[in-house]
A and B are shown apart, each in its own frame.
Chain A
Amino acid sequence: MSQAKRFAFTTIDPSLGDTSFRPMLSVRLARRDQSVVADGLLDSGSMVNVMPYRLGLALGASWEQQQVVVHLAGNLANLEARALLVSATVEPFAPVLQAFAWTKSTDVPLILGQVNFFQAFDVCFFRSELAFEIRSKQVAQ
């Protein structure tokens, strides 16, 4: 078990005051020789990781080649999604393999959910301090 790393909540829209804070986490996603840095929403209520279409394309993924269909629920139920495995790095932790429901939507945010971000990391929210802490379950190499 690693040491915890503390991050600050992100202000999405300052005009919204106290309701504008989100637990956004910068994560480097990599697949084969492509990589991209994106801000993911830490969503412990989401059962899965969700990736918007543009990010999958930026990682060199081909929709036609990702043949495992993922059936999402709720507001995302009408969106096509495919399973996509990528390496994810949250500094200062070691990279971890993450499975995403890669959607055709460009509106959906990058969501870090239970399968399998919260399986790889323990996350503790301190909303009153506008901060959260992350601890990797993997021991750094």
Chain B
Amino acid sequence: MQFNLLVAACLLYVIFLFAVAFMVERRAAGGRVGWLRSPLVYTLSLSIYCTAWTFYGAVGYAARSGLEFLTIYFGPTLVFIGWWWLLRKLVRIGQQYRVTSIADLISSRYGKSNTLGVIVTLIAVIAATPYIALQLQSVVLSFGVFATGTPDGVTPPDAASTAIWVAAGLAVFTILFGTRNLDAKEQHHGIVTAIAVEAVVKLVALVAVGAFVVWGIAGGVGEIMARIDAAELSAWQVQPGRWTGLIFLSAVAVITLPRMFQVMVVENDDEGHLARASWAFPAYLMLMSLFIVPIAVVGLERLPADANPDMFVLTLPLAEGQGGLALLAFLGGFSSATSMVIVESIALATMISNHIVIPLWLRLRPAPEGQGEDLRGVVLMARRLAIGGVLALGYGYYQVSGGSAALAAIGLIAFLGVAQVLPAMLGGLFWRGATRVGAILGLLTGFVVWSFTSFLPSFGPGAVLSETVFAEGLFGLAWLRPYSLFGTEAMDPITHALFWSLTLNALAFCLGSLLSFPDPVERLQGAAFVKVFEGAVGPQRWARGQAEPEALLSMAQRILGEEEALSLFQAAAREQGKEGYLPDPTPGFLDTLEARLSGSVGAATAHAMISQLVGRATVTVEDLMAVASESAHIMEYSAQLEAREAELTRTAGALREANEKLMQISIQKDAFLSQISHELRTPMTSIRAFSEILTEGDLPPEQVAKYGRIIHDEAKRLTRLLDDLLDLSVLENGTVQLNLGLASLQQMLDTALTAARQTRPERSFTIHRDLPSEAFYIKTDADRLTQVFINLISNARKYCDAPRPELRITVRQRGGRVMVDFVDNGKGIPKSSQALIFEKFARLTDANRAGGAGLGLAICREIMANLGGSIAYLPGQGGAAFRVTLPLRLEKAAA
């Protein structure tokens, strides 16, 4: 194969990618995203997980350590097939809070702390540098494969200049499409689509080589199985700890790698895509690994012993004379390397510019009041320089390390480096108690341990860490040896580093979180992130500050550009019902503005810029309480409503009852009126009749005396009736004069019994009393109380219908009150009438009408009310039963 043909193919391929990216950008600019944002493109873009390390390195890995390479794909498979809920939460937060990178996520979660942003950025850059170097190296190696022994006499450039050309070319491509615009959502349609195309190319290439090996060389599946059995590949390094450790590590890395975060979260448009990716991405990984073992086995078998197994994918087709296939494989490997480098450098450049360059710039060159230069230029320039810088770092690392042979080891070390973000990230997503201090401590601890046990030793003994450190430990302390920290020698280096760095990291994170107290912004952000699905907490609330809308506008223009800032402000002003471009700086508007800005420069910077203008740096604890009490208010309000409703129901019930009672009383009153007129009329009639007879004269004197007595008796009856009515009205008005004094209850009952004997004197009544219990004095109006007793006993005498009437009088004292029960053995009062008997003019059956106008109990009730007590009917006592309750000592005031 001719080398210049290879270069030409390579250039053509790059031009093709340029064209794809350019066309997509054009479409996206026209708003026609359509299929560009389909689950398929999303899944394919996730495939940047498979870098050149996969494409070339996996075969080498398999040739060296058997099936262990599978662990690198098992981890992501496990995460995607089952833990989409974790990914979905990430994506939801990313969309809701316009997260621009993993550093932005961490910084935003922990109170928009830029310190954290810087730490995560540095860790990511340091961990990614060797990885980028790895990609460069793989491209250089693959060029080298074609360059060796070129028959056409073209002298291929040496490795170093190839690397520099590749790095420069990648930088140009990335800058052109990654930093064309400062998007509010930090999305790059062109690049994502180009990466999806590259994903297809690398899959097709690897599967083509694999198919050629299986069916072209080996001659079928059964044949290849036999060869695998025959080959002396080691199955795996028989260490279950390492096997599971690597699965865990790759599972963590797929979430925390900056480039994975970029395509998975930042470039995501639709959470629903995750559902498709949950099986499609593992399927992609599976297809990528399907032919690794066959290629490794056949390569080991066919190629000379000194051939680099990392390059089998290329050298096998070349050795078999399949130039075209080799070219395809080359393009596949080229795709793997370039797509990874492009996305990684975009992600890192965003982090560097948002968390390091812009904050520094703003600090060093504070804008003059009211105006400042267009920051967008600065941001874009910072990103371009950062992309160049990241690639230069990768190139530098490649030059310094001199292209070490084993790609896989570097990959794992990089994985472990970014994995240090895991505790702070998961803690931030699921634990509201996670604090900034904890996150900083955890990250720093993890970073230091990782550097000491994994990163620095990777340069080899004597390079960074001296050989004595390897042998005797740091400062000569044996428990500080890089590969056996605290004397743990049983693990291999990567498992050892994984175990100690993540354990100590998580420990520091938890301890720091438990022992520190978060500030209000942190607490607000924590609640907003952890409860993102409940939507209970809005974003940061700005208090209405003294910010000048004009200053805000000029600041927004610096970042968003004039046109966009103006339209944003105009829309906000219109929403507030104002004309023009200057809305009031309400909390809501400030939130919107901050969200918009943070899409461009990250949460921490946006927050700092706005708080500079608003004048108050943070929310206060009072604001937090206000947010909390808002929801509490709503709940309280609904509870109040419920209580009010219950009260209304009660009132309605009471009203209904009262109404029924009123109706009955009205009926009774009518009945009574006829009754009372009858009662009044009867004596009046006899008085009139007898007085007429008397006026006629001519009567014997004894007759006159008899008629006179009758007239007198009837007049007395009338008077008594009128007295009762009068008494009742006095009692009801509360104008009665009480004559308080000490009196014996026993005496009062005696008096009452004697007096009541006049009622139906013909009936013999058995009275049950417990004399000792009655022997005490109470302070009350004795006459009035006796009147009540007389009334009750008389009623019993009148109405008790038992053949052998009995009356039981029971006296009890309870807590300063006296209760006197009168229970007879008649049939009692029917339930329907019990509510009425104390009403005026109430009278029950006509059967026992023994005179009286039905005022007795009504008077009793009024008397008892005046005496500070009560009278009630006791149901269920085997007869009519009344309970009189009154205070033992009635004070004047209560009267």
The finding on whether chains A and B are genuine partners in a shared complex, rather than unrelated, reads no
Interface positions of B (Cβ within 8 A of A): none
On A, residues with C-beta under 8 Å from B are none
